[in-house]
A and B are shown apart, each in its own frame.
Chain A
Amino acid sequence: MASRVRIQEADFDVGAELAALQGERTDIGALASFVGSVRGHTREDDVSALTLEHYPGMTERSIEAMLVEAEARFAVQDALVIHRVGRLLPGERIVLVAVASSHRRDAFQACEFLMDYLKTHAPFWKKETTPQGARWVDARVADDAALARWGLASANAGGQALPASGAAVDAP
């Protein structure tokens, strides 16, 4: 059986992955999926490429733990996360999160929960190539806020942006 968490350089076929997730099962009434892609521009600049780095081992483990957490919160029958690394061009797919459930509400919610969790806790880093040169993408406080809606605290971006929050600043 294919792993539920895959970190890879290669592209993926969304249709084939969703079909495989459903398989021959007849108890799955809802399949929700999210596909993230490389944007060709930011507010300031054109982006000609995105290079993604990860922490082999920890990345897979952390996403697997997120799947376990999603299963504790929602009626999830099966789930899949594929995240690409390496050099990607605008329009290319970066990430697929797919959740199979009996009913749509759990499928939608678990899918959004997993993306919010992944954005703030999975060790990936993006570097943009622009006409001004290459630069690492800054974490967004809005992504921490998105996770907070699920009752989970995140100071991923917040340590720098909110120095009043104390511990996060000097903590490594």
Chain B
Amino acid sequence: MRITLKYFASLREALGPGGTLDWQPAAEPTAAALRAWLRAQSDAHAQALAPGRAVRVAVDQALADGATPLRDGAEVAFFPPVTGG
């Protein structure tokens, strides 16, 4: 399935801005499953997306969580906790 991946702030610095991904999920396509798959792609990914790290996710530009299902063509963004205002 096709995923548009985006990273912001410290994750963007570690992994780049993201891009388009052709992902073949082994099980239910969820945000947590994608995060786990990404961790296996490189040492930088493993570190930036490590389970203990505070990483937030948005699916199709709405805040989501690990259980959020992903559809073909979804836009998925990973970023640290927000600090605006």
Taking beta carbons and an 8 Å cutoff, which residues of A are in contact with B? 36, 52-55, 57-58, 61-62, 83, 94-95, 115, 118-127, 136-139, 156-157, 159-160, 163, 167, 169-172
Contact = CB atoms under 8 A, between A and B. Distances in A.
A160 B65 CA distance: 15
A136 B31 CA distance: 24
Interface of B: 6, 8-10, 12, 31-32, 34-35, 49, 51-58, 61-63, 65-67, 77-85
Contacts of A118: 84-85
Interface hub of A120, A139, A163, A172 (most chain B Cβ within 10 A): A172
B78 A124 contact: no
- SS class of chain A's interface: helix, strand, loop or mixed? mixed
Contacts, number: 109
A22 B10 CA distance: 40
A139 B66 contact: no
B66 A167 contact: yes
A58 B66 contact: no
